[in-house]
Amino acid sequence: MAIILYFLSTISFLGAQSHDSLPRKSSSHTNHLPQNLTTSSVMNGPPKVAVRTMAEWEEVEYLLVSWTQYPNTLREIVRYAREVCKVLIICGDSVSVKAFLVAGRVRTKGVSFIHAYPNSVWIRDYGPQSVYMNEVDSLALVDWIYNRARVRDDQLSEIIATHTSLKLFTTTQSPYELINIGGNFLTDGMGTAFSSQLVLRENKLEGLYSSSSKNEAEIDRIMQTYMGIERYLKMPMLPYDRIHHIDMHLKLLDEETLLIGQYPEGVADGPHIERNFQELLANEYSSFGSPYRVIRIPMPSHEGFYPDAKWVNYRTYTNAVLINRLVLVPQYECSEDSLALEVYRNALPGYKIIGVDVSQLIQSGGALHCVTQTIGVRDPLRIIHQPIRAFFPETSHAKISAMLAHVSGISQARVFYKTTENPVFSPADMQQVDPFKGIWEAYIPLPHSPDQLLYYIEATSYSGKIQRRPMSAPKGYWRVRVGGDVDRR
């Protein structure tokens, strides 16, 4: 994996912020593109085969960051993320960046640099989206029209595609013009995506960022064609969230688990968030066809105040970033911080959960998810599994089923299981029962007494790649109470 950091200043950034570092809601018309920018990787028109957009919990190769501001926060991102990925810093002055990292005792082994000049730090919004041709085949990138007049930011995806030698499909030409931002887009990797209705409003503004307007049906067709989104759920916008980005109060933890920000009763956007999700839960199901599982996480206050007052920052813990087995969680030096970390530890067992202070960053309208973007690996081994909800005492064995896929094919798959009283996992071979859909199954014995069953899935491709689900296994696994519901531990 690699972290891609963009550094704007050509002078030392250790003292002051760059004049091009902008709040998320601001605009800049500055147009200073790199002289060596090529567009050989840019594809005219949509992909010619079926595509699938990667979910955030899938395997990541690159983490992208635009380093135009808040160097202390970005350095902490690098400190922990470089442990699980390669680092690529795109900057105007690699000497200054290296010096700043080394001064903070961040190792630079595996860190590389290229030059570019973004307008702002918000690469989640304008960075490229990862898609796979035919589920797990070749990796490509998709770039939308950015909803800010920041030309250098909007061109950044082309620089990334050129550097990584990946194809880039852009929604910039008629009839496929589409305005969207990454902070207002979350997907489960199975064709379902979430946004606020900001995407509807901005694509009606003909002439502001594009030359045509789009209705909802046209937007949905473009998202399906370019990204394989079959169900695009759009939530009503919130009155106190000035940017209306859904990552400020929602995070998808897996295909059927929603982490939802929660305010005290009757406070700020709390009633609106609750109404939106109650309607969603009553009418929509996960891509497995099951009801969504909901985990609540507090929306932190600022010295006891919430953003129903205009001067209060919109603090959030859902604005975290997943990088393989690492989760970086926003921290604000407030009483709710420790509870937020505990919520993530319980929800994502076995993952390394690290808090990063964003007290200064949040003043510009975003947190960790906002200043990072990810690109997936080029050879994903995909494991899709719906954890068993209940084992009933009258059955002696439980069937474990999963969809497995790799471009070279799957050579072996196993379920590793144990009880809470047994410290050693035992393997059970899985058999392919549907080659066309890639379905594999295994039967594992249930404990005879009221005990808890723990398990995870491991698959190996013909090329030798090994992947596990949960990705944090064997430290993380699914825990099943016999006769009860499954929990993540």
Q: Are 274 and 150 part of one and the same domain?
A: yes
Residue 185 to residue 129: CA distance in whole angstroms: 10
Q: Which residues are CB-contacts of 282 (< 8 A; sequence separation ≥ 6)?
A: none
Q: Are 139 and 87 part of one and the same domain?
A: yes
Residue 94 to residue 97: CA distance in whole angstroms: 5
Q: Which domain holds residue 342?
A: 2-376
Q: Are 70 and 206 part of one and the same domain?
A: yes
Query: Where does residue 314 fall: left (phi above 0), alpha (psi -120 to 50 degrees), or beta otherwise?
Result: beta
Q: Are 410 and 371 part of one and the same domain?
A: no
Domain termination residue (choose one: 376, 405, 438) = 376
Count up the domains in the chain and report the number.
2
Nearest to 355 by CA among 339, 336, 331: 331
Q: Are 393 and 296 part of one and the same domain?
A: no
Q: pLDDT tier at 397 (50, 70, 90 boundaries)?
A: confident
Q: Which residue has the tokens 């979910």?
A: 55
Residue 347 to residue 345: CA distance in whole angstroms: 6
What is the average pLDDT across 475-480?
92
Q: pLDDT tier at 114 (50, 70, 90 boundaries)?
A: confident
Q: pLDDT tier at 8 (50, 70, 90 boundaries)?
A: very low
Domain termination residue (choose one: 376, 405, 428) = 376
Using alpha carbons, list the distances in angstroms from residue 108 to 49, 213, 457: 39, 46, 34
Q: Are 347 and 469 part of one and the same domain?
A: no
Q: Are 157 and 257 part of one and the same domain?
A: yes
CATH number of the structural domain spanning residue 280: 3.75.10.10
Q: Are 344 and 362 part of one and the same domain?
A: yes
Question: In this predicted structure, what is the pLDDT of residue 88?
Answer: 75
Using alpha carbons, list the distances in angstroms from residue 89 to 2, 74, 111, 126: 9, 11, 7, 17
Q: Are 274 and 198 part of one and the same domain?
A: yes
* CB atoms closer than 10 angstroms to residue 165: 9
Q: pLDDT digit string (tens) for 310-348?
A: 678 999 999 999 999 999 999 999 999 999 999 999 999
* CB atoms closer than 10 angstroms to residue 54: 22
Q: Are 397 and 348 part of one and the same domain?
A: no
Q: Are 185 and 281 part of one and the same domain?
A: yes
Domain termination residue (choose one: 376, 392, 410) = 376
**High-pLDDT (> 90) share of the chain, %:** 72
Q: Are 401 and 456 part of one and the same domain?
A: yes
Q: pLDDT digit string (tens) for 15-47?
A: 323 334 578 877 665 544 444 444 458 998 899
Question: In this predicted structure, what is the pLDDT of residue 450?
Answer: 61
pTM for this predicted structure? 0.93
Consecutive H or E run containing 272: helix 270-283
CATH number of the structural domain spanning residue 468: 2.60.40.650
What DSSP state is assigned to residue 55? P
How do beta strands 192-196 and 186-187 pair?
Answer: antiparallel
Q: pLDDT tier at 483 (50, 70, 90 boundaries)?
A: low
**Average pLDDT score, the chain:** 89
What would the DSSP string read from start to end of 211-241? SS---HHHHHHHHHHHH--SEEEEEPPPSS-
Residue 189: pLDDT over 90: yes
